[in-house]
Structure 1
Amino acid sequence: MSRINYDLMSDVELKQYFLKHRGDRAAFQAYLDRINQRPRRIVASPNDPDFDEKVQAAIRQKLEASSKKQQEAD
């Protein structure tokens, strides 16, 4: 049996693969490693007086970016 090269898969392909092959711990670990290597963006700290507004603005930005990508794909 040949070894699967997870590095050649896109994030979406790798996620779909490990969801279909839930017993493949190496695939799951490869996905977690890939996700954990990404830089994390801190939107607001819990003590920030503008916490709600900042979180809502970040969500709106994500939704707008996602919508724009979808429109470009269509």
Structure 2
Amino acid sequence: MSQVDYKAMSYKELRRYFLKHREDQAAFQAYLARRRERARPVITRIDDPDFDNKIQTAIRQQLAEHRS
């Protein structure tokens, strides 16, 4: 069996590969490591008086990133 280069895969490719090869522990570890790298920061707290505004701003930023 040939070695798979997980680092050369995009996040989506690695995810698809892992879902098709769930028994591949190295793929699972690579996927978990990649997910940790993509961790999203905490935007606000539930008791923040500006909660709605911060959430809406974060959504707009994500939409703008996906469009570009």
- Does residue 60 in structure 1 map to residue 54 in structure 2? no
- Does residue 3 in structure 1 map to residue 3 in structure 2? yes
Number of positions where the alignment pairs a residue of Structure 1 with one of Structure 2: 68
State the TM-score, normalizing by the size of structure 1.
0.71
Query: Match of 2:36?
Result: 36
How much is the aligned-residue C-alpha RMSD, in angstroms?
A: 1.8
Unaligned runs of 5+ in 1: 70-74
3-state DSSP of counterpart to 1:4? coil
State the TM-score, normalizing by the size of structure 2.
0.76
Runs of 4+ in 1 over 3 A off after TM superposition: none
Unaligned runs of 5+ in 2: none
The superposition leaves residues 17-62 of structure 1 with CA deviations (integer Å, 9 ceiling, x where unpaired) of 1122222232122111112134632211222111122112211211
